[in-house]
Amino acid sequence: MPNEVISLDPARKVEILAPEIIRADRPLLVLAHGSGKDMNSPFLNIISEGVQNRDVQVVRFNFPYKVARRQVPDRSEILEDSWKLVIRWVTEHLQFSGLFIGGKSMGGRIATMVAGDFPRITGLVFLGYPLHPPGKFDQLRDEYLHPLQLPMLFIQGTRDAFARMDLLQTALGGLRDRVTLHWIEGGDHSYQVLIRPAKSYQEILQHVSGLVADWILEIHGRRAFREQKE
């Protein structure tokens, strides 16, 4: 399927990358990029491919500022409206058995702002959640997490400058069984490891993709089981 370009408004467009073949009996993950890279970054390419190889379909998209080849992210309300537009497009044009949303850093954080508006969403995936700006530990960005009554997966590097370990654990502590947290030992905001690791960077990202796919399939399976019992 070629990339789909849809209009947010007369001045802004969103670009969507969906699989060529969509299966109605498999869950779907919609991923948004971070502030610096677009949906075709090596990071998202490797993780998306790995997730799709494990029977979870993946849709990616570019926010308007990346479609326009600009570096500075759009205002928050434009990013939120873009997420809403993509979710509506996905639910209208694709068939799937469960809908998960999330993304890299900023893309995942914006997803928390819109997830409550869509009852079909099954869970959220955060690939390096930006809890605070680097060094600004009093500026926490967790206000949209707490109202969400959805399963959430966080995969974080232990030396992520955007999420000090103790602050993230405290922030997620009140969410109880809604949260699954995995640490990438020595990883930064993109899971890069400074000291020569036992695994290559590509292997680390493939490991992350496995964590994402396994979690989605587990949550999806639980929901299907509950629905059968009902």
Query: In the chain, what are the domains?
Result: 4-229 (3.40.50.1820)
**Residue partners of 67: CB distance under 8 A and separation at least 6:** 5, 12, 13, 14, 15
Q: CA of 87: how far to CAs of 61, 155, 200, in Å?
A: 11, 23, 34
Does residue 101 contact residue 121 with C-beta atoms inside 8 Å?
Answer: yes
Task: State the angle between helix axes of 106-114 and 76-93 in degrees (0 to 180), rounded to the nearest 10.
Answer: 70
Identify each DSSP E strand in the chain by its residue range.
Answer: 4-9, 12-17, 27-32, 57-62, 98-104, 121-127, 152-157, 179-184
pLDDT at 11: 94
Segment 103-144, tens digit of pLDDT: 999 999 999 999 999 999 999 999 999 999 999 999 999 999
Q: What is the pLDDT of residue 224?
A: 66
The confidence score (pLDDT) of residue 98 equals: 95
- Classify 109 as helix, strand or coil: helix
pTM reported for the whole predicted model: 0.94
Q: Is 77 helix (H, G, I), strand (E, B) or coil?
A: helix
How far is Cα 103 from Cα 110, in angstroms, rounded to an integer?
A: 9
| Contact criterion met (CB below 8 Å) for 216 and 150 | no
3-state secondary structure at position 195: coil
Cα gap 35→134, rounded to integer Å = 14
| pLDDT (0 to 100) of residue 74 | 97
- Taking 70 as the pLDDT cut, the residues of the chain under it are 1-2, 197, 224-230
